[in-house]
Amino acid sequence: MKQITLNGHPHQTSAETIAALIAELGFPKGTAMVEHNSVALRPDEWHRPLAPEDRVEILRIVAGG
Protein backbone atom coordinates (compact mmCIF):
# COMPACT_ATOMS: atom_id res chain seq x y z
CA MET A 1 0.00 0.00 0.00
CA LYS A 2 1.12 3.53 -0.69
CA GLN A 3 -0.08 6.86 0.64
CA ILE A 4 -1.18 9.39 -1.98
CA THR A 5 -3.25 12.56 -1.81
CA LEU A 6 -6.58 12.04 -3.56
CA ASN A 7 -8.76 15.11 -4.08
CA GLY A 8 -6.92 16.88 -1.27
CA HIS A 9 -7.19 14.04 1.29
CA PRO A 10 -4.79 11.28 2.33
CA HIS A 11 -5.62 7.97 0.63
CA GLN A 12 -4.10 4.49 0.90
CA THR A 13 -4.01 2.51 -2.34
CA SER A 14 -2.44 -0.62 -3.76
CA ALA A 15 -2.93 0.66 -7.33
CA GLU A 16 0.25 0.78 -9.38
CA THR A 17 -1.09 3.10 -12.12
CA ILE A 18 -3.67 5.84 -12.56
CA ALA A 19 -5.84 3.39 -14.54
CA ALA A 20 -5.71 0.88 -11.69
CA LEU A 21 -6.66 3.62 -9.20
CA ILE A 22 -9.65 4.62 -11.34
CA ALA A 23 -10.75 0.97 -11.47
CA GLU A 24 -10.13 0.51 -7.72
CA LEU A 25 -12.39 3.49 -7.01
CA GLY A 26 -15.13 2.04 -9.23
CA PHE A 27 -15.36 4.76 -11.86
CA PRO A 28 -16.99 3.46 -15.06
CA LYS A 29 -14.88 3.97 -18.18
CA GLY A 30 -15.28 7.44 -19.66
CA THR A 31 -16.71 9.09 -16.54
CA ALA A 32 -13.62 10.68 -15.00
CA MET A 33 -11.09 13.43 -15.66
CA VAL A 34 -7.73 13.06 -13.93
CA GLU A 35 -4.94 15.39 -12.87
CA HIS A 36 -1.73 13.73 -11.68
CA ASN A 37 0.81 15.94 -9.89
CA SER A 38 -0.73 19.06 -11.45
CA VAL A 39 -0.76 17.62 -15.00
CA ALA A 40 -4.11 16.94 -16.69
CA LEU A 41 -4.10 13.48 -18.28
CA ARG A 42 -5.93 12.05 -21.26
CA PRO A 43 -7.31 8.53 -20.72
CA ASP A 44 -4.55 7.11 -22.95
CA GLU A 45 -2.02 8.49 -20.42
CA TRP A 46 -3.51 6.69 -17.41
CA HIS A 47 -0.82 4.01 -17.65
CA ARG A 48 1.45 6.38 -15.66
CA PRO A 49 2.75 4.78 -12.45
CA LEU A 50 1.64 5.99 -9.04
CA ALA A 51 4.30 6.71 -6.43
CA PRO A 52 3.98 7.43 -2.71
CA GLU A 53 3.11 11.07 -2.03
CA ASP A 54 1.66 11.63 -5.54
CA ARG A 55 -1.25 14.06 -5.79
CA VAL A 56 -4.26 12.93 -7.81
CA GLU A 57 -7.40 14.93 -8.49
CA ILE A 58 -10.36 13.12 -10.03
CA LEU A 59 -13.46 14.81 -11.35
CA ARG A 60 -16.47 12.69 -12.18
CA ILE A 61 -18.30 13.56 -15.38
CA VAL A 62 -22.09 13.37 -15.11
CA ALA A 63 -24.86 14.33 -17.47
CA GLY A 64 -27.38 16.84 -16.25
CA GLY A 65 -30.50 18.47 -17.40
44 vs 46: CA distance, rounded Å: 6
Tell me, letter by letter, the H, E, C secondary structure of 4-53. EEECCEEEEECCCEHHHHHHHHCCCCCCEEEEECCEEECHHHCCCECCCC
Residue ranges per structural domain of the chain: 2-60
pTM: 0.90
| pLDDT number for residue 61 | 84
Domain made up of 2-60: CATH architecture: Roll (3.10)
| pLDDT number for residue 65 | 62
Note the pLDDT tens digit of each residue in 2-56: 999 999 999 999 999 999 999 999 988 788 999 999 999 999 999 999 999 999 9
Would you give the distance in Å from CA 28 to the centre of its chain? Answer: 12
3-state SS, residue 29: coil
